[in-house]
Amino acid sequence: MRLTGVELRRIAMPLVAPFRTSFGTETTREVLLLRAVTDEAEGWGECVAMTDPLYSSEYVDAAADVLRRFLIPALGADLTGVSVAPALARFKGHRMAKAALEMAVLDAELRAAGRSFARELGAVHESVPCGVSVGIMDSIPELLEAVGGYLAEGYLRIKLKIEPGWDVAPVRAVRESFGDEMLLQVDANTAYTTADARHLAKLDPFDLLLIEQPLDEEDILGHAALARVVRTPICLDESITSARAAADAIRLNACEIVNIKPGRVGGYLEARRIHDVCVAHGVPVWCGGMLETGLGRAANVALAALPGFTLPGDTSGSARYYKTDITEPFVLEDDGHLTVPTGPGLGVTPLPDELSAVTLSTEWITV
């Protein structure tokens, strides 16, 4: 496949409601999209970096810069999806930018071949169970109203964002209000330290599926120590940057569950390798979300259809975050699942009018 060039497109997607985590509040999601143009087909990629370097060291402006100056020029004209990562390996870090470029090239290749993302990754399910991530609220009554609404929509699992001062009380309120049968987990986004171990153990009576990333992303040994204090399974997110990192964390007993975010690990092919490592060690995985548009959501749903994804992911419907998506919206089925796209490549494409309405800028880079 011969690459002609790549379009960088900046868009701004207003959220239906502010989304607050331990590291900040988002009201608009600024997204960098990539359109890879080849002699056979066009493919789309989505960079999940945030506007500011809060979730990780990556951010949108830096992703655009490294793509423009280094990553796209390094590809060469003739390539395939699997050749992208090796071509970019000499450049340190910037996994989210690399993932977006690999996604765009892989989408173009699969569209040309008439194969779906799901088939290419090894999906075994036609639909995937969906959970929803609930941000930090101003009050517990507001939280309970939000959770009740998501359960009424059919979501099968609730994830609560937590931070010091907003943890035990909201979890207790949600558990008492909605019962022991509801699948419930929490996400700290690195907000705690090992000194908080006894406090986090107070979450044990609420029968949570997991505590996600309670400590700093580099504190693998701290997570292993925490796992000896709390009964609730520890799940790693920010700490898992590659298949090697996942294998090390598992070997050190730092986690019992892994959240796989393709953008965080450098792409969907590396995400599949992490899945395979976890399956080999008997560690369940689930697919995290980064407030993706329909493009990234389509790829995530395809990934979540692999056999090792045994827990509901953050693969929410489009309406969870956006009043209008840039693709045909993903709509939650009555049984709390999303259907896996089966068309060529991602199985979805941007709708021209919707894409134009949210576009801030475009830039064409010739290879």
Catalytic residue set: 161, 261
Q: Which structure tokens are listed for 317?
A: 């419907």
Cα angle: 58, vertex 63, 66; to 5 degrees: 120
> What is the 3 state secondary structure string of 331-343?
CCCCCCEEECCCC
CA distance 240 to 223: 12
Q: Which two tokens stand for residue 33?
A: 């999209």
Q: For residue 177, what are its two tokens?
A: 């209000």
DSSP H or E stretch at residue 257: strand 257-260
Chain length of the chain:
367
Residue that is written with structure tokens 């064409």 in the block: 364
Sign of the dihedral through C-alpha 82, 88, 90, 93: negative
CB atoms within 10 A of CB 325: 23
Q: How far apart are CA 109 and CA 283, in angstroms?
A: 32
Q: Which of 54, 53, 48 is nearest to 21 (CA)?
A: 54
Amino acid at 135: G
Q: Beta strand pairing status for 42-47 and 127-129?
A: unpaired
Burial of 183 (0-12, 13-18, 19+ CB in 10 A): middle
